[in-house]
A and B are shown apart, each in its own frame.
Chain A
Amino acid sequence: QQQVKQSPQSLIVQKGGIPIINCAYENTAFDYFPWYQQFPGKGPALLIAIRPDVSEKKEGRFTISFNKSAKQFSLHIMDSQPGDSATYFCAASSRIQGAQKLVFGQGTRLTINP
Chain B
Amino acid sequence: EADIYQTPRYLVIGTGKKITLECSQTMGHDKMYWYQQDPGMELHLIHYSYGVNSTEKGDLSSESTVSRIRTEHFPLTLESARPSHTSQYLCASSESLGVWFFGPGTRLTVL
What does DSSP make chain A's interface, helix, strand, loop or mixed? strand
Range for the number of chain B residues in contact with chain A = 20 to 34
Contact check, A43 vs B42: say whether CB atoms are below 8 A apart.
no
Tell me if A54 is interfacial: C-beta within 8 Å of chain B. no
Task: Give chain A residues whose Cβ lies under 8 Å from the Cβ of B2.
Answer: 45
Contact check, B103 vs A99: say whether CB atoms are below 8 A apart.
no
Contact check, B41 vs A106: say whether CB atoms are below 8 A apart.
yes
Which parts of A72-106 form the interface with B (CB within 8 Å)? 87, 89, 93, 97-106
Tell me if B3 is interfacial: C-beta within 8 Å of chain A. no
Tell me if A16 is interfacial: C-beta within 8 Å of chain B. no
* Among A36, A45, A104: residue with most chain B CB under 10 A: A104
Contact check, A46 vs B42: say whether CB atoms are below 8 A apart.
no
Nearest A residue to B41, CB-CB = A107
* Shortest Cβ distance from residue A40 to the other chain B in the assembled complex, whole angstroms: 8
Contact check, A99 vs B31: say whether CB atoms are below 8 A apart.
yes
Residues of A within 8 A of B (CB): 31-32, 34, 36, 40-46, 49, 87, 89, 93, 97-107, 109
Residues of B within 8 A of A (CB): 2, 31, 33, 35, 39-45, 48-50, 56, 58-59, 90, 92, 94, 98-105, 107
